[in-house]
Amino acid sequence: MARKAKNSFQAPKGTSDILPKDQKYWEKVRDVTKKASLHYGFGRIDTPLFENADLFEASVGVSTDILEKQMYVFRTRGKDLVALRPEGTAGVARAYVEDGMMNLPQPVKLYYLGPMFRHERPQAGRFRQFNQVGFEVLGDIDPIYDAQVISLFVRVCGDLGLKNLNVEINSIGCKVCRPVYRKQLLKYYRSRIKGACADCKKRIKVNPLRLLDCKNEKCQPIKVNAPNLIDNLCKECHDHFRSVLEFLDELEIPYSLNSHLVRGLDYYTKTVFEVFLEDEHLEKHSETTHKRSKLAIGGGGRFDNLVKIIGGKDTPAIGAALGIERVIDIMKLQNVRVPDIVKAQVFLVQIGDLGRKKSLKLFNEFSKSGIFVSEAFGRNSISSQLRIADKMGAKISLIIGQKEAIDGDIILRDMETGSQEVIPIENIIKTVKERLKK
Ligand code: AMP
- Do 320 and 393 belong together in one domain? no
Distance 39 CA to ligand 1 centre (A): 25
Q: Is the shortest distance between the CB of 325 and ligand 1 below 6 Å?
A: yes
Q: Express each pLDDT in 91-103 by its tens digit.
A: 999 999 999 999 9
**Parent domain of 404:** 346-437
Distance 324 CA to ligand 1 centre (A): 9
More confident residue, 70 or 348: 348
**pLDDT at residue 203, as a whole number:** 87
CATH of the domain at 380: 3.40.50.800
pLDDT band at 2 (very low <50, low <70, confident <90, very high): low
pTM (two decimals) = 0.89
Q: Whose CA is nearest to atom 11 of ligand 1?
A: 323
- Residue pair 298/322 in contact (Cβ under 8 Å)? The answer is yes
- Do 38 and 136 belong together in one domain? yes
- Do 373 and 247 belong together in one domain? no
Average pLDDT over residues 236-245: 98
- Do 158 and 100 belong together in one domain? yes
| Rounded percentage of the chain residues whose pLDDT exceeds 90 | 79
Nearest to 157 by CA among 341, 321, 342, 339: 321
Q: Is residue 195 part of a domain?
A: no
| pLDDT at residue 286 is higher than 70 | no
Q: What is the DSSP string of 242-306?
A: HHHHHHHHHTT--EEE-TT---S-TT-EEEEEEEEEE-THHHHGGGTS-SSSEEEEEEEEE-TTH
Average pLDDT over residues 363-381: 94
More confident residue, 15 or 66: 15
Which of 302, 333, 364 is the last residue in one of the domains?
333
| pLDDT at residue 1 is higher than 70 | no
Q: Express each pLDDT in 34-80 by its tens digit.
A: 999 999 999 999 999 999 999 998 888 766 777 777 899 999 999 99
| Rounded percentage of the chain residues whose pLDDT exceeds 70 | 95
- Do 318 and 395 belong together in one domain? no
Which of 287, 303, 333 is the last residue in one of the domains?
333
Total structural domains within the chain: 2
Average pLDDT over residues 171-178: 94
- Do 318 and 357 belong together in one domain? no
SS3 101: helix
Distance 298 CA to ligand 1 centre (A): 6
Which of 301, 333, 365 is the last residue in one of the domains?
333
Q: Is the shortest distance between the CB of 118 and ligand 1 below 6 Å?
A: yes
d(CA 384, CA 390): 10
pLDDT band at 4 (very low <50, low <70, confident <90, very high): low
Q: What is the DSSP string of 20-66?
A: GGGHHHHHHHHHHHHHHHHHTTPEE----SEEEHHHHHHHT-TTSHI
Distance 52 CA to ligand 1 centre (A): 22
Q: Whose CA is nearest to atom 14 of ligand 1?
A: 323
pLDDT band at 123 (very low <50, low <70, confident <90, very high): confident
Q: What is the 3-state secondary structure (H, E, C) of 355-386?
A: HHHHHHHHHHHHHHCCCCEEECCCCCCHHHHH
Q: Is the dihedral of CA 57, 58, 61, 62 positive or negative?
A: positive
Q: Is the shortest distance between the CB of 64 and ligand 1 below 6 Å?
A: no
CATH of the domain at 85: 3.30.930.10
**pLDDT at residue 287, as a whole number:** 38
Q: Whose CA is nearest to atom 17 of ligand 1?
A: 126
Phi, psi of 112 (to 5 degrees): -140, 165
Atom of ligand 1 nearest to the CA of 298: 10
Distance 323 CA to ligand 1 centre (A): 5
Side-chain half-sphere of 395: how many Cα atoms within 13 Å?
Answer: 12
Distance 297 CA to ligand 1 centre (A): 7
pLDDT band at 290 (very low <50, low <70, confident <90, very high): very low
| pLDDT at residue 269 is higher than 50 | yes
d(CA 116, CA 39): 26
Q: Is residue 384 part of a domain?
A: yes
Q: Is residue 187 part of a domain?
A: no
Give the DSSP H or E segment for 398. strand 396-400
Phi, psi of 174 (to 5 degrees): -135, -170
